[in-house]
Structure 1
């Protein structure tokens, strides 16, 4: 029996550092709501689980700009809206598509974040998702009163307590607590409203939320992290885990590891989904797709590719290395661990030099799938059937063509094969993904964390 895929669209303006220069590309996507609306409608027409947005609260490489390296730092990945402000607009023009956005635990407070995503869950009638990150962009610290990023371990300790506060706040109202009884004059049942009264190392939060119990109760929690504390936090708290994997064997090992950890936390591993990030480059034929990939690659200056790699590796300047030699062992840093490991893994597994590795990540950090719709569908099914993932986070190179090609060509091919839905069968994002539902009495195999 064909295994069904989970599919989300990751819309990231300027993701491919050359594709935005194509004649048919619309780089104005980054600050134009009409384009976001059309992309969301295309995703919903394709019956995707969700549309997803990342966030960074700083211009990339601000320290290098101050030092005069304006060319390498001034790239399109720096420009985008606050995604939590975009999602309510998209909720009004879609009916089933999940709506997810990144919001960092390092530079937010749990009460405000819990309230924000609970509000989105109401506005979307149960389609909200929160991507929990601890921030890897060290420039962000200087926008929040810090000279340097918090230490990696400290960020995860804060995040662990943060998510407990958020989920506690989401559950601070019981089902049916808000009565609005005009006859008796009772607006809500005080016995079904609970104060959290959290007092921890990082936060003191009374609660409850002012929003009541949202449709999903807990908006879907997404997370991406490959370090030891990242995997532990994901296995304990996440519903969906994004991962940077380029090798099918290593991807299966990652999925197996997260699922085993989830069991240790008393969770059902079937209720935690692993999505591999992939960048589809689609052509009528495989040769057409390769030609498109080469044309987009030619639009990325080498200096920009090398400059882009620096923050991903925690500040390592690759221009100091032999550009035609393999990537050396990179030092540990206080930035995110996933990208550091991915850089070394991609270089090793694909036998890439420093400059080739820089070009790879200038195209985007995720697995590249280059080919016809049938070829890309073959690869996606191969990964799913091998147990390497539960689905994919598709990151098109540009808008609109990249989005149109994935939603209008690749997804229909998967649907023809029975590998992806042709209609939505539920109302909530948790329904689409097959996750634990919190607005009902949990069954023994629901495995709530």
Structure 2
């Protein structure tokens, strides 16, 4: 497969973080978050464009100040199962937390999606940033960072073992021989680790791609280590080319130290291209979208990094408040960065919010030519292996697929047609060999090698 950009498309209904006014746009329906036909429409646009995957983000904890789409939306695996029956090629990636799900349930749900879709499933691993999630699952306190990421790594490993419960040829479906299953090719997991005890086996065979693709997002050291260890697609945000190159180099270096090839770890920053007839028009649209965000909504979403701490209790024009360890169980890396910046620069609360919510022109805003040029530059300079599109209006999405993609295709940077039918095939990732098959193959090779070495000795003795 020729190396080309990997491109996925996320769907955020009537608006994700910072998009509190989008639900009023006449191009959208206010209840889009719970209408499956809207998800299917977006996935079909992605498939018509020959994109690699369709992505559903998720979180379960909400407050009245959460973005509109967060307040009223469907659950990812349910969505993707429905979308699978309305599409045939596009990959289907959904978010599921390792902190508040059991490995067996995770393994079974994604294995089912993988079989329903013919090998198009992907799992985006999160550990749940919102510490309020704990109360929804009967815990008094959210897991700390060490435990969240320790649980996550073990969770993923157990899920991958469960996905290998059956070897690929475990079902002969032999009617004359009365053999539905080859019992020797069904394997229990019998996992007894620090966080989980799981016997298995899983009651589902592997799909055409072997196992669902693992995606991961996290900027802390723990998050980067997890991504380097188990991630095959890494979601991130890169504000500049230099930041993108640094992140990609770091993740791939960490993967290599763990014995993985850098080509096994695809870096996919989220981008929201704005395409217009002129650069000036695109920049005006970008600015208008930002300026439409009311300050009170900016303050509310700012609080997410601090576990949705109520910042309205403070004087906006007083020095940024002393928060102690608030934020340590939520988005620790981000909350620490905010505290440090406010302290170093002597900012007020208002100034801090405006700094971190401020207008930052995107490199992916302009004409179709501008956007294609920038994607090519970032790709060629190693800042990314692809992108995940974070657009919100169908017209914007169609303009990208109709104007930018043809330019990328003309440069040999994106496919003309799908070359395979699985998500792994689209992304150029190898099908992982079943671990039990690999063990049996290795044992057979050793036995054959031993026999070959001893054969001459046996022949001489006989002679």
Secondary structure at the counterpart of residue 172 of structure 2: strand
The whole-number CA distance in structure 1 between the counterparts of 2:362 and 2:246 is 16
* TM-score, with length taken from structure 2: 0.84
Could you tell me how far apart the structure 1 residues matched to 2:378 and 2:208 are?
A: 33
Give me the whole-angstrom Cα distance separating, in 1, the residues matched to 2:305 and 2:358: 13
Pick the aligned partner of 1:45 from 43, 48, 55: 48
Select 1:402's aligned residue among 393, 396, 403. 396
Q: Deviation at 1:141?
A: 1.2
Contact 1:104 1:135 in 2 (8 A): yes
**Residues 160 and 424 from structure 1, CA distance in 2 versus in 1: closer, same or farther, beyond 3 angstroms?**
same
Q: Where does residue 210 of structure 1 map in the other structure?
A: 203
Q: Distance in 2 between matches of 1:324 and 1:48?
A: 48
| 1:292-326 alpha-carbon deviations (Å, 9 max, x no partner) | 22332343211011111111344466664767999
What SS does the aligned partner of 2:274 have? strand
TM-score (norm 1): 0.87
The equivalent residue for 1:64 is none
Residue in 1 that maps onto 2:164: 171
Provide the residue aligned with 1:86 in structure 2: 79
SS of alignment partner, residue 52 of structure 1: strand
Task: Give the structure 2 partner of residue 370 of structure 1.
Answer: 365
Aligned to 2:265: 272
Shift of 1:329: 11
Q: Distance in 1 between matches of 2:413 and 2:208?
A: 28
The answer to whether residue 143 in structure 2 is matched with residue 150 in structure 1 is: yes
Please give the alpha-carbon distance, in whole angstroms, between the structure 2 residues aligned to 1:249 and 1:407: 27
1:428 alignment partner in structure 2: 422
- Where 1:258 maps in the other structure, the secondary structure is helix
Instruction: From 33, 57, 60, give the equivalent of 2:60.
Output: 57
Structure 2: segments with no counterpart, 5+ residues: 439-463
- Residues 18 and 149 of structure 1: CA distance in aligned 2, closer, same or farther (over 3 Å): same
Alignment match of 2:354 (pick from 353, 356, 363) = 356
Q: Aligned partners of 2:291 and 2:254: how far apart in 1?
A: 43
- Which residues of 2 match residues 241-390 of structure 1 at below 5 A? 241-315=234-308, 320=314, 333-337=328-332, 339-340=334-335, 353-357=351-355, 359-360=357-358, 369-390=364-385
Q: Which moved more, 1:2-11 or 1:124-133?
A: 2-11
CA distance in 2: counterparts of 1:191 and 1:48, whole angstroms: 40
Residue 206 (structure 1) shift? 0.9
Question: What displacement does 1:190 show?
Answer: 0.6
1:214 deviation in Å?
2.1
User: CA 1:360–1:92 in 2, change beyond 3 Å: closer, same or farther?
Assistant: farther
Tell me the CA shift for residue 338 of structure 1.
5.4
For residue 236 of structure 1, what is the aligned residue in structure 2? 229
Q: Structure 1 residue 21: deviation in Å?
A: 2.5
**What are the residue-to-residue correspondences of 1:25-44 with 2, within 5 Å?**
25-44=28-47
Relative to structure 1, the CA distance from residue 273 to residue 74 in structure 2 (aligned partners, 3 Å threshold; closer, same or farther) is closer
Give SS of 1:407's match.
Answer: helix
| Match in the other structure for 1:8 | 8
Instruction: Tell whether 2:405 aligns with 1:411.
Output: yes
**CA displacement, residues 335-380 of structure 1 (integer Å, 9 cap, x when unaligned):** 13454478689999xx99534345459x9xx966322221111221
Q: Does residue 102 of structure 2 align to residue 109 of structure 1? A: yes
Unaligned ranges ≥5, structure 1 = 62-69, 443-449
Q: Which has the higher contact order (CA 8 A, sep 6+)?
A: 1
RMSD: 3.0
SS class of match (2:234):
strand
Matches of 1:342 and 1:131 in 2, distance apart? Answer: 25
Asked which structure has the greater CA Rg, the reply is 2
| Shift in CA distance, 371/419, structure 1 to aligned 2, threshold 3 Å | same
Give the counterpart of 1:119 among 103, 112, 116. Answer: 112
Distance 1:340 1:393, change over 3 A: farther
